[in-house]
Structure 1
């Protein structure tokens, strides 16, 4: 009986063994399909991510080119303004020197006029200046004021 119960146990396990390989094959097949589908979705996500990164590269390159163009344009404008500024500074320096020179002449003329007034008591004619004493042709009101440069003088 032990043999028959042993056989029964074996035949019971044998019949379970027959169903298990079919169930295992079915499970294995379903698992493989599931893995394939998961891998397909993963590849699709990876491709989408790659496409997004490629589009981002194109957009960033376009923005970079626009920024470079703006920088180049701004740089060119700066160089133009700097060159104009240099010209204006040179003109300003030249005009300042001319103004200083003219103001020096006015000061010298006023000093000579004051000298004529001081010498006027000693003679009627000033032989050096050729003027009649008492009349100072250098003593004009506008000569006592400094000369100011105007904006029009810069455009000569």
Structure 2
């Protein structure tokens, strides 16, 4: 019996060691699968991260281009605005000058109407060559001709 008990305990040890080996192999296989799965998951994560970085880099490039276009448009608009302000300033000065000329001409007309016939019969104000018949008006007509030539 001792031999059978020794055999029986020997086969039981063999079974135990076989089970332990199978269990170890199974655990090793699961460990390898988990490691492979983790590596694949990390690879996918790196790919997602790289795609996200590429998308962000593309967005930065697009926004920089839009920014340059907006700045160029702003500079052009600012230049046009300054040009218009300059032209408006010139036009205001011309309006002011023309208003003074008109006021002077109205004063001359008022004077002529008030003195109608006092210095002789009313006649034309200008000679056929365009010069004025009055001594104090040639300066005014010269300014008018020079000022109006800019239009």
Above 0.5 in TM-score? yes
Task: Kindly provide the CA deviation profile for residues 37-62 of structure 1, in whole angstroms up to 9, marking residues without a partner as x.
Answer: 11001101101110111111111111
- Where has structure 1 moved over 3 Å in runs of 4 or more? 10-16
* 1:76 match: 79
Which TM-score applies when normalising by structure 1?
0.67
Aligned to 1:62: 65
- Given the alignment of the two structures, is residue 137 of structure 1 paired with residue 122 of structure 2, yes or no? yes
CA distance, structure 1, for counterparts of residue 119 and residue 18 of structure 2 = 150
Tell me the distance in 1 between the aligned counterparts of 2:24 and 2:63.
57
Partners in 2 of 1:37 and 1:100 — Cα distance?
A: 92
Give the gaps of 5 or more residues in structure 2.
126-143
Q: Counterparts in 2 of 1:66-145, with a 5 A limit?
A: 66-113=69-116, 129-131=118-120, 136-137=121-122
The match for 2:150 is 155
Superposition CA RMSD, Å: 2.8
Match runs of 1:19-30 below 5 Å = 19-30=22-33
CA distance in 2, matches of 1:112, 1:55: 84
Tell me the TM-score normalized by structure 2.
0.69
Aligned length: 122
